[in-house]
Structure 1
Amino acid sequence: MSSNAQETASSATQPAITLSGVGKSYRLYERPKDRLLELLPGFGHRGRTHTALAPLDLKIGHGEVIGLIGRNGAGKSTLLQLICGTLTPSSGQLKVDGRIAALLELGSGFNPEFTGRENVFLNGAILGLSKTQVAARFDEIHAFSEIGEAIDQPVKTYSSGMFVRLAFAVAVCVEPDILVIDEALSVGDGAFARKSFDRIMALKAQGKTILFCSHSLYQVEAICNRALWLNQGQVMAEGAPAQVIEQYERFLYAEEHGHSHAQAPTSTPTLTGAQQPPRFTRVAITLDEQPATLSQVPEGQTGHSELCIQAYWQGPADWPAPSFAMTLMGSDGRMIASAGTHIDRISPQHDAASGEGQIEIRLPALSLLKGEYWVEVYLMCENGIMFYDQQIPAAHFTMSSPERMLEQGLVHLPRRWSALDPALPDMTVE
C-alpha cells in the first residue's frame, strides 16, 4: 500500500473528534482582590473551584450527528466551546480532524465595528480559508443570509435576526467538515428557519459531522443518531437518542413533579418576518360529540367513547403541505399515545394556491381507564421534524369506568378467559 493510500485509510478510521479526560473548571472568588491575594505567599486559598464540565472521554466519528441535551447550566455549551477551541481544557487532551464551523453565542466571532462583508472574510480566515476561497463563496453566503445592502454596514447596527442570518450563512456555506450548533436557530422568521433547517439536513446527507445542542427533544430524536445527556457538568447517559431522552424525561418529571400540566403554554410564540410558517387557524376536539376544551371537560366511558380532532391551518402558498401530529397525555405528564400524518404516510388536504389545509383524525372506542387526559396538537414540516405551531394542551377530558372501578393501569385490554376444563364455557371481556 502506498503512503498516500495509508494516509487516506488512516483518516477514514480516525474519529472526527476525540476527547480524552477533557474537563473544564474555574476558580470563583467572592471579591476581586481575593484572586490577587491567592497568588501571594501566606494568604492560602481564597476562592473555590467550580467544575463546569467533569473530565470525560468521548469519540465522535465522521458523519455522526450527536445531540446534546440537558438543562441550562448543565455544561453543554462548555463542551461545545472546548471542541470549537474557544475555551481551553483544564485537563485532558482534545483532537479534532477537520474544519469546524460553529454557531455558538449569537454573533460570536463578529467584530461589531466591521461591516458584514468584512466579517465574512474575517470568519473565513479563522476557519482556515484563503481570501480567494472566501471570495469564491461570498455571493452564496450573501444570498443565503438575505440581509441585502446591510452587508456593507457595521454589524453593530444589525438586529439579532440579521446577526444569526449572516452567522449561519457563513457557517454552512464554507463547506465545514464539522458543524456545531448551540441553540442558535431560534432567531429569524419562519421562512429562514426552514431554509436553515433544510441546509442542516443537506449537510447530514453529505456525511458531515454535526453536534446539535437543543431543548427540542423531538428534533434531537428525529435528527441525531446518538445523544449525550449532561447534568451539572456530569455525563448522565449516552447512547441511542430515544433511550437517553426517555431517561432525561423521567429525571425532569421526578424533579418537577407536582407542576400542573395545564400551565403549559397554549401555543408557540409568534415569529416575526414577512413570510410566516403554517399556523393553526382552528382546532376542534370532541369526545362523543361534546366539545373537549380546557374550560369544558366532557366525560367518556371506557371502551365506548370516540375522540375526534379536526385541525385547520393557513400557511405560505408555495410551501409543501405540513404534517399534523397529536399526542395523548396522562395527567402525570406521561405520553400515552401519538399519531402523525408523516408517520402513517397520510397526505393532509391542502390547497397549494391558498396555503390552507385541514385534517381530521378519529380514535374510536377509547380503551383508556378512569382518569384525566390531555390532548396536544402540532404542525410540523412535511418530514415531521421542524415545528411550525402547537397547542399544549389543546383539550382536556376525563374517562370513567363504573363497571371496572377495580381495574388498574392506563388502558383496558380486551381478553378471553378459558377454563382448563373443556366442558366449561369460555368468557370474553370486551
Structure 2
Amino acid sequence: MLSESMAITGPAPQAPAYAIEAHGLGKCYGLYARPGDRLKQLLWGRWRQYSREFWALQNVDLAIKPGEVVGLVGRNGAGKSTLLQMLCGTMPPTTGSLQVNGKVAALLELGAGFNPEFTGIENVFMNAAILGMKNQEVKDRLDEILAFADIGEFVHQPVKTYSSGMFMRLAFAVATSVEPDILVIDEALSVGDGAFARKSFDRIMGLKEAGKTILFCSHSMYQVEALCSRAMWIDAGKLRMMGTAAEVTSAYQTSLNASIPISPSIACRPDRGRDQPQGGRTAGSGRITRIVAKAGGVSGRELDLVSGKTDLEITIEFTIDPGLPAPSVALGFSDANSLTVASVLSTNDNIRLTTDVHGHGRVVILFPKLPLLKGRYTVTGFLACENALHVYEQVDRCLVLHVTQEGLEQGLVKLPHRWQA
C-alpha cells in the first residue's frame, strides 16, 4: 500500500509532445446533381449511389508543438477553412485521426453563436459557455470583457440593435477572454477600426508572447513570414508543402505569380493635405496624408526615369494618434503584371521615425540611380505600427514610374556586377 507521501512525490504526468497532431486527416462531402437525389440516397442509397464524392481535405499529416506559431496559406477553396473547423472541433473528419491538446479559441466567424434577441451581457454568458468557460469564470471576468469591448450601455440592449462594429467588438472580447492554449485565427489579425483594431492586435500579440500555440491563416505573405516560425501550404485539399515560413511563402507566392493577369488600372488618391483636421485619421490609428515622388528635378505622381541614371526621391507624410508609438513606413514596387518587384521597410533598415506633438510625421526615401530596367512600375505605400505588423493604411499604386534604358539588358532590375576576363 502506497503512503500519502509516496503518492504526492510520484512522477508527474508529462506534458504532451504536440499541441496538435493529425494523421491522414480527410473530409469528404457528397455532391448531388439534383435536390431530389438527396432523398433517393436516403431511401435507396444502400443499393445505389446518387452522389459523387468531393474531398475537401485529404491525407493531411500535422505535428505542431506547444508554443509554435504556424501559418496556413492556400488559395480560396483549397481546404483551409475545413481544416480549421476540424481543429476547432466544429466539424468531424471523415478519415484519419486528430488529437488537440489544450483549450482552443477560434477567431473564425466572430459572433456566430450570438442570439440577436438577447442582450450583450446575455450573449457574453451564452457564448462563453460554448467556449468552455464556467459561469463563475464569466462573472469574474465580466468587467474586463465589457471594458475591452467598450460599447457602453449598449451591453443591456438586444444584439440586433448593434452596429456591425459593436457586434465585432463584443464577439472578439469574448472569444479572446478564455485564455486559450491554442488560438486559431482565420485571416484577420485585428478587427474593428481605429483604437479597437490596435487593441485587438495587441491582445493577440500578447497571447503569442505568452507562449500560446497559434495557427494563423492568411493571404498576407508578409504577415505569415513576420509572425510564424513555420508554415504549411494547402492546395486542392492536400498538404503541398510544410517548412519554414520563408520557404513556404516564397513557393506559394511563385505559384500565385504564374497566374496573375495584367491589370493596367491605377488607383491614385489625391493629397488630403496636412491642414485637414487630424489628417483624416481616427482615434487610435494613423493615415497617410501625402505621397509624392521626385526624379530629374520633376515632382509628381507619374514620372519618367532612365534606368541606372536617374535618382528617385519619395516623400511620405503621415499623421497618427499622438498617444501611439511612432509608426513604420513601407513601399512596394510592382511591375505591369502587378507582381512585386521590390520593397523597402523602415523597421527592416532599423530606421526609427518621429512625430511632432500633434502626431504628424514625414520621411524621405532615396533611391540613387534607380536600377529598375525598362518598363512601367507602380508604387504602393504602407503606414504600419512600430513593429510593422499591424497596417494602419495602404495606398495602392499611388505612384507611376515610366522607366527607359540605354542598354539591351532584359529583366526587371540591373544587378551590380563586375567582369573578369
TM-score between the two structures when normalised by the length of structure 2: 0.89
CA distance in structure 2 between the partners assigned to 1:251 and 1:417 by the alignment:
34
Give the letter for the 1:244 counterpart. V
Q: CA deviation at 1:332?
A: 3.8
Check whether the contact 1:103–1:167 (CA below 8 A) recurs between aligned residues: no
Query: What is the match of residue 156 of structure 2?
Result: 152
Check whether the contact 1:292–1:397 (CA below 8 A) recurs between aligned residues: no
- Give the alignment's Cα RMSD to 1 decimal: 2.5
Say yes or no: does 1:275 pair with 2:283.
Answer: yes
Give the letter for the 2:134 counterpart. S
Query: What is the match of residue 42 of structure 2?
Result: 39
CA distance in structure 1 between the partners assigned to 2:360 and 2:210 by the alignment:
34
Q: 1:112 aligns with which of 89, 92, 116?
A: 116
Q: How does 1:8-87 map to 2 (within 5 A)?
A: 8=13, 10-11=14-15, 13-41=16-44, 44-87=48-91
- SS of the equivalent of 2:176 reads helix
- SS of the equivalent of 2:165 reads helix
Say yes or no: does 1:379 pair with 2:383.
Answer: yes
Give the letter for the 1:255 counterpart. S
Query: What is the match of residue 309 of structure 1?
Result: 314
Query: What is the match of residue 244 of structure 2?
Result: 240
Say yes or no: does 1:362 pair with 2:366.
Answer: yes
CA distance in structure 2 between the partners assigned to 1:215 and 1:319 by the alignment:
27
Check whether the contact 2:262–2:338 (CA below 8 A) recurs between aligned residues: no
Q: CA deviation at 1:339?
A: 1.7
Q: 1:290 aligns with which of 284, 293, 298?
A: 298
Q: CA deviation at 1:330?
A: 3.1
CA distance in structure 2 between the partners assigned to 1:21 and 1:134 by the alignment:
37
CA distance in structure 1 between the partners assigned to 2:281 and 2:161 by the alignment:
18
Query: What is the match of residue 426 of structure 1?
Result: none
Check whether the contact 2:284–2:323 (CA below 8 A) recurs between aligned residues: no
Query: What is the match of residue 318 of structure 1?
Result: 323
Check whether the contact 1:137–1:174 (CA below 8 A) recurs between aligned residues: no
CA distance in structure 1 between the partners assigned to 2:99 and 2:374 by the alignment:
56
Q: CA deviation at 1:184?
A: 4.8
Over 3 Å counting, the alpha-carbon distance change for 1:263 and 1:19 in structure 2 is: farther
Say yes or no: does 1:208 pair with 2:212.
Answer: yes
Query: What is the match of residue 410 of structure 1?
Result: 412
Give structure 2 stretches of 5+ with no counterpart. 1-5, 271-279
Matched residue count: 406
CA distance in structure 2 between the partners assigned to 1:162 and 1:375 by the alignment:
35
Give the letter for the 1:69 counterpart. V
Give structure 1 stretches of 5+ with no counterpart. 420-430
- SS of the equivalent of 1:122 reads helix
Check whether the contact 2:194–2:284 (CA below 8 A) recurs between aligned residues: yes
Q: CA deviation at 1:43?
A: 6.1
Give the letter for the 1:408 counterpart. Q
CA distance in structure 2 between the partners assigned to 1:303 and 1:367 by the alignment:
5
Over 3 Å counting, the alpha-carbon distance change for 1:76 and 1:175 in structure 2 is: same
Give the letter for the 2:226 counterpart. A
Check whether the contact 1:34–1:46 (CA below 8 A) recurs between aligned residues: yes
- SS of the equivalent of 1:193 reads helix
- SS of the equivalent of 1:291 reads strand
Q: 1:394 aligns with which of 386, 395, 398?
A: 398
CA distance in structure 1 between the partners assigned to 2:371 and 2:262 by the alignment:
27
Q: 1:341 aligns with which of 346, 352, 356?
A: 346
Q: Which moved more, 1:90-99 or 1:128-137?
A: 128-137
Over 3 Å counting, the alpha-carbon distance change for 1:115 and 1:264 in structure 2 is: same
Q: How does 1:108-257 map to 2 (within 5 A)?
A: 108-184=112-188, 187-256=191-260
User: Percent identity between the aligned chains?
Assistant: 49
Q: CA deviation at 1:2?
A: 7.9
TM-score between the two structures when normalised by the length of structure 1: 0.87
Over 3 Å counting, the alpha-carbon distance change for 1:235 and 1:289 in structure 2 is: farther
Query: What is the match of residue 427 of structure 1?
Result: none
CA distance in structure 1 between the partners assigned to 2:168 and 2:72 by the alignment:
21
Q: Which moved more, 1:407-416 or 1:240-249?
A: 407-416
